[in-house]
């Protein structure tokens, strides 16, 4: 829509295309398998019968590192305490940030996240502000900028 600067939209499309090409050449650390696609604690509901995964529209079979990158981004961009992330990687036995392909999947995920926020920007001033913060952090190459819900 008109809320998004065409230069920002073009920048995100260019990033998307670059990461798609780079992802095709990745050598996984883990064997491919089922992934959730949005593997966050909020997408696990625990009831009397045990845990149930929800929000399954991106469930697929792919590089399992995708789900691990989501959690790493939770730490790096969304405020998951480092101690919680470290406890997870210790229990899991591996930190995806050690993998050479992490930057590619992270970049793709960050780009997709910006595009998701962009769809809300035309009718939501807070989303537009957050979109601009996120794109600026990508343009500046600053992976430490905190991203917020809107």
- pLDDT value at position 2? 74
Cα separations (Å) of 95 from 44, 63, 69, 99, 101? Answer: 21, 15, 9, 8, 12
pTM of this prediction?
A: 0.90
| Phi then psi dihedrals of residue 79, to 5 deg | 95, 10
Domain limits, the chain: 1-27+100-150, 30-96
pLDDT of amino acid 115 = 96
- Residue 19's pLDDT band (boundaries 50, 70, 90)? very high
Give the whole-angstrom CA distance, residue 117 versus residue 131: 6
CA atoms within 13 A on the CB side of 66: 20
Residue 21: pLDDT band by 50, 70, 90 thresholds? very high
Q: pLDDT tens digits for 38-79?
A: 888 889 999 999 999 999 998 999 999 999 999 999 999 999
pLDDT digits (tens, 9 = 90+) for 124-146: 999 999 999 999 999 999 999 99
Q: pLDDT class for 3, splitting at 50, 70, 90?
A: confident
**What is 30-96's CATH topology?**
Transferase(Phosphotransferase); domain 1 (1.10.510)
pLDDT digits (tens, 9 = 90+) for 72-129: 999 999 999 999 999 999 999 999 999 999 999 999 999 999 999 999 999 999 999 9
Q: What is the pLDDT of residue 1?
A: 52
């Amino acid at each position: 829509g008109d809320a998004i600067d065409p230069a920002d939209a073009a920048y995100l499309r260019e990033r998307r295309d670059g990461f798609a090409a780079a992802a095709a050449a990745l050598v996984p650390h883990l064997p491919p398998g089922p992934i959730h696609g949005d593997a966050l604690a909020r997408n696990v509901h625990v009831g009397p019968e045990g845990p149930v995964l929800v929000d399954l529209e991106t469930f697929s079979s792919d590089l399992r590192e995708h789900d691990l990158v989501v959690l790493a981004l939770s730490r790096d961009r969304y405020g998951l305490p480092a101690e919680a992330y470290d406890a997870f990687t210790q229990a899991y036995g591996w930190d995806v940030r050690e993998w050479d392909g992490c930057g590619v999947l992270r970049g793709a995920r960050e780009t997709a996240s910006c595009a998701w926020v962009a769809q809300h920007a035309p009718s939501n001033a807070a989303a537009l502000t957050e979109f601009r913060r996120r794109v600026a952090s990508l343009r500046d190459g600053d992976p430490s900028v905190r991203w917020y819900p809107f």
